[in-house]
């Protein structure tokens, strides 16, 4: 089930390198986590770039709204990802938790990129 989530997540703004890395992992947890970690770093950089590109396009009031929304979103992403790290879920829970963090980060990066196009 977790691997299905990882495969589903690949359709959401994640790079082909990530898919290739997961394919090469052959389901080995440590290797899958390495793949997720590499892609998470990339997507986090993408998210920060999108945020920084959007901020100057907004009025002062909208900047403050975005900053507050972003802070709340980060809290939600982190809490949601921790929830998936069920201590009774074994290694699959670790993969699911990390994949949730990755997927949410990539989706938010896309959302901010789209917002910048509209402004």
What is the C-alpha separation between 117 and 10, in angstroms, rounded? 23
**Confidence label for 13 from pLDDT (cuts 50, 70 and 90):** confident
The four Cα atoms 60, 71, 95, 86 give a dihedral, to 10 degrees, of -160
- Within 8 A by CB and 6+ apart from 24, the residues are 31
Mean pLDDT of 106-112: 97
Q: Phi-psi region for residue 7, left (φ > 0), alpha (ψ -120 to 50) or beta?
A: alpha
Contacts for 94 with CB less than 8 Å, ≥ 6 apart? 29, 33, 85
Q: What is the pLDDT of residues 47-60, one digit of tens each?
A: 999 999 999 999 99
Determine the Cα–Cα distance for residues 83 and 7; give it in Å rounded to an integer.
20
Q: Whole-angstrom Cα distance, residue 118 to residue 86?
A: 39
Asked whether residue 21 carries a pLDDT value surpassing 90, the answer given is: yes
């Amino acid at each position: 089930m977790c691997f299905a989530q990882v495969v589903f997540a690949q359709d959401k703004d994640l790079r082909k390198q990530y898919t290739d890395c997961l394919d090469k992992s052959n389901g080995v947890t440590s290797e899958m986590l390495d793949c997720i970690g590499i892609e998470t770093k990339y997507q986090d950089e993408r998210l920060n770039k999108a945020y920084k590109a959007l901020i100057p396009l907004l009025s002062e009031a909208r900047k403050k709204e975005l900053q507050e929304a972003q802070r709340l979103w980060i809290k939600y992403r982190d809490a949601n990802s921790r929830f998936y790290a069920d201590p009774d879920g074994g290694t699959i829970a670790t993969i699911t938790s990390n994949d949730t963090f990755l997927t949410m980060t990539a989706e938010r990066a896309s959302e901010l990129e789209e917002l910048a196009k509209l402004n």
